[in-house]
């Protein structure tokens, strides 16, 4: 083995993705659909840790499972790690303290940067899967003031129901209509919204439709991971 090059069972993977224990159909654009990514990613399922465990329960209890997943992904050679649930921003500090590579817990991490880019009098609006579950800790933990415009999907929405019951064969168009309607409600209630951040890692399949409808920048977990990947593997230019 060459000095400075650790032995690896897998080569060519840069981004590791920790996926919660779910069974619902994921569409292209979703963080856990392989066709979302134009570069190699390494998935790692945390069995027994469901979305409800980290959204409605105490996410601290999931830390041992996440630490084990981090160990596995780092051993496989990834250079950065992310997760499939935006509510894991509540664990950003613990995860970055443990991981030896950059750790991106949530699409919400983009908010401070986006705020600096917006015109005067404009604010970041957050599109959330479950608004009732989003607490101050999810924002304060990543340096975001919890007074931003926010709108979530209804508890009985098709998308949330499909996720809750692990639905296979979902109606993509119907789910997209729900997410667009929530985004339109966000802009109606908070007309000073200058950009939208999708908390939920299952919203990116609809980001293009939101941006087209509202004529606003839309950020999600996919934009965040592309940002990280571009830093890890900068393009090469030739004259």
Q: State the chain's mean pLDDT as an integer.
A: 93
- What's the pLDDT band for 1 if we cut at 50, 70, 90? very low
- pLDDT(7) > 70: no
Mean pLDDT across the stretch 100-124? 96
- What's the pLDDT band for 55 if we cut at 50, 70, 90? confident
Mean pLDDT across the stretch 151-177? 92
Q: Where are the beta strands (DSSP E) in the chain?
A: 15-20, 41-46, 80-83, 103-104, 123-128, 150-152, 193-198, 218-219
pLDDT on residue 146: 86
- pLDDT(18) > 90: yes
Domain ranges, ordered by start, for the chain: 15-106+224-232, 107-220
3-state secondary structure of 72: helix
pTM above 0.85, yes or no: yes
- What's the pLDDT band for 6 if we cut at 50, 70, 90? low
Report the C-alpha gap between 72 and 134 in whole angstroms.
29
- Determine how many CB atoms are found less than 10 A away from the CB of residue 135: 12
- Determine how many CB atoms are found less than 10 A away from the CB of residue 71: 14
CA nearest 158: which of 174, 146, 143, 144? 174
- pLDDT(13) > 80: no
Q: Which two tokens stand for residue 76?
A: 């496989």
pLDDT on residue 54: 87
Greatest mean pLDDT range, 21-25, 49-53, 186-190: 186-190
Mean pLDDT across the stretch 160-171? 90
**CATH number for the segment(s) 107-220:** 3.40.50.1860
- pLDDT(227) > 70: yes
- pLDDT(36) > 60: yes
Mean pLDDT across the stretch 178-202? 97
| Contact of 15 with 80, CB cutoff 8 Å | yes
Mean pLDDT across the stretch 1-21? 75
- What's the pLDDT band for 166 if we cut at 50, 70, 90? confident
* Secondary-structure class of domain 15-106+224-232 per CATH: alpha beta
Q: Could you give the maximum distance between any two Cα atoms of the chain, in Å?
A: 60
Domain 15-106+224-232 identical in fold to domain 107-220: yes
- pLDDT(44) > 60: yes
140-160 pLDDT per residue, tens: 989 998 889 999 999 999 999
CA nearest 157: which of 192, 209, 200? 200
Mean pLDDT across the stretch 13-28? 93
């Amino acid at each position: 083995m060459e000095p400075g090059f650790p032995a690896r069972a897998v080569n060519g993977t840069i981004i590791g993705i920790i996926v919660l224990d779910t069974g619902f159909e994921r569409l292209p654009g979703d963080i856990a659909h392989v066709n979302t990514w134009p570069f190699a990613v390494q998935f790692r399922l945390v069995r027994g840790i469901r979305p409800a465990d980290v959204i409605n329960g105490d996410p601290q209890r999931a830390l041992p499972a996440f630490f084990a997943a981090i160990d596995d992904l780092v051993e496989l050679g990834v250079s950065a790690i992310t997760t499939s649930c935006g509510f894991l921003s509540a664990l950003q500090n613990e995860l970055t303290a443990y991981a030896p590579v950059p750790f991106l817990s949530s699409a919400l991490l983009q908010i401070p940067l986006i705020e600096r880019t917006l015109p005067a009098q404009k604010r970041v609006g957050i599109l959330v899967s479950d608004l009732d579950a989003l607490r101050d800790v999810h924002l304060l933990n990543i340096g975001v003031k919890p007074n931003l415009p926010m709108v979530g999907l209804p508890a009985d929405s098709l998308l949330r129901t499909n996720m809750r019951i692990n639905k296979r064969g979902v109606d993509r168009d119907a789910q997209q209509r729900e997410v667009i309607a929530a985004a339109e409600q966000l802009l109606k209630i908070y007309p000073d919204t200058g950009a939208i951040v999708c908390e939920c890692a299952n919203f990116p399949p609809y980001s293009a439709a939101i941006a087209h409808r509202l004529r606003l920048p839309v950020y999600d977990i996919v934009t965040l991971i592309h940002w990280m990947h571009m830093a890890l593997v900068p393009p090469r230019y030739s004259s």
